Structure 1
Amino acid sequence: MSPDREADVTAGGFRPVPDVLAHLAGRWHVERTVRDLASGDEGRFEGTTEFSPLEGGGLLHFESGSFVWQGVPRPAERTLRFLPGSRPGTADVRFADGRPFHDLDLGTGRHVTDHPCSADLYRGEFTVRDADRWRTVWRVRGPAKDLVLVTDYVRAGGS
């Protein structure tokens, strides 16, 4: 790691991001594992995520690739909207239809947030390792769900 990058990393090993939207803009390679802790099943997603500008501000997040579950590959995609948050440098993440998903503040390089969904609770942890790598870990618990989703993002053309 260069001295410049070392200076940007917190004691916890995370890289502070003063402006989430500026940091995420562009194309990322994505690898995700999905583990069902109740059944022991594991799936894997590989693809890309593109964060492109939205008219009026914010970013459109479009993810596409292949998801393999129980040995069966299938195409998968999702769309989210990352809008400017209530504080400078933060984001308000919304589903494609505009429903609220979660807040996102990477000012310290790490953020934990919750998303209640019916009887389930999604708890997300976002961490930034450097300018070109970040990770999300979602722990999903509910009457019918006991999942861990780990997603690694590497900037296209990055390290």
Structure 2
Amino acid sequence: MTAGMITLADLAGEWRLTRVIIDHLAGREGRFVGQCQWLQDADGLRQEEAGILHFADAPPMQAHRSYLWRVEGAGLAVFFDDGRPFHRLGPGLLSDRHYCDPDIYDVRYDFSQWPLWTQSWQVQGPRKDMSILSQFQRGG
């Protein structure tokens, strides 16, 4: 990693992932613990998350999520696994906003403790008020 900005090569491989999800409206909290891999594909990297989600009183459940990461100019663009744009980051741009009408998703990345890093989301909408903090640490 250079000058506070990651590259696809920095992300490639396996990471331990923990995520805390706080639903402020419902007064409930969840925790996801699992693995995250960034795997080479034809156009960049495919992010694959898999683990166990514990949310409030619900029984633990298997959870999976995938994203596509691509080089775009001097930065990176993140897409949903079906190719729809999600958000971007780059030198001097470690936060972004995604609109999913009627909700707003604000993301902020922190690479200051690399190779431990975080991604935090604030989600606001008519029926949403959530904080989501994901922590990534190199290794399996």
Provide the TM-score with structure 2 as the length reference.
0.92
Q: Report what 2:50 is aligned to.
A: 64
Q: Please report how far the alpha carbon of residue 20 of structure 1 lies from its aligned counterpart in structure 2 after TM superposition.
A: 2.2
Describe how 1:1-16 pairs up with structure 2 within 5 A. Answer: 16=4
Q: Report what 1:40 is aligned to.
A: 27
Deviations 1:2-36 (A, max 9, x none): xxxxxx7xxxxxx612x421211111100000001
Q: Please report how far the alpha carbon of residue 128 of structure 1 lies from its aligned counterpart in structure 2 after TM superposition.
A: 0.4
Local SS of the residue matching 2:25: coil
Partner amino acid, structure 1, of 2:83: G
Partner amino acid, structure 2, of 1:95: F
Q: Please report how far the alpha carbon of residue 61 of structure 1 lies from its aligned counterpart in structure 2 after TM superposition.
A: 0.3
Question: 1:52 & 1:141 partners in 2: Cα distance?
Answer: 31
Q: Report what 1:121 is aligned to.
A: 104
Percent identical residues? 31
Q: Report what 1:3 is aligned to.
A: none
| Structure 2 spans left out of the alignment, 5+ residues | none
Question: 1:45 & 1:146 partners in 2: Cα distance?
Answer: 18
Q: Please report how far the alpha carbon of residue 130 of structure 1 lies from its aligned counterpart in structure 2 after TM superposition.
A: 3.4
**Which of 12, 28, 38 lines up with 1:51 in the alignment?**
38
Deviations 1:79-117 (A, max 9, x none): 1000111x13x1111001001100121x35x60100000
Question: 1:31 & 1:145 partners in 2: Cα distance?
Answer: 22
**Which of 131, 138, 144 lines up with 2:127 in the alignment?**
144
Q: Judge which range, 94-103 or 110-119, deviates more.
A: 110-119
Q: Which has the larger radius of gyration?
A: 1
RMSD, aligned α-carbons: 1.6
| Structure 1 spans left out of the alignment, 5+ residues | 1-7, 9-14
Partner amino acid, structure 1, of 2:8: L
Report the count of equivalent residues: 138
Deviations 1:41-95 (A, max 9, x none): 000000010001111x31000000000112320000001000111x13x111100
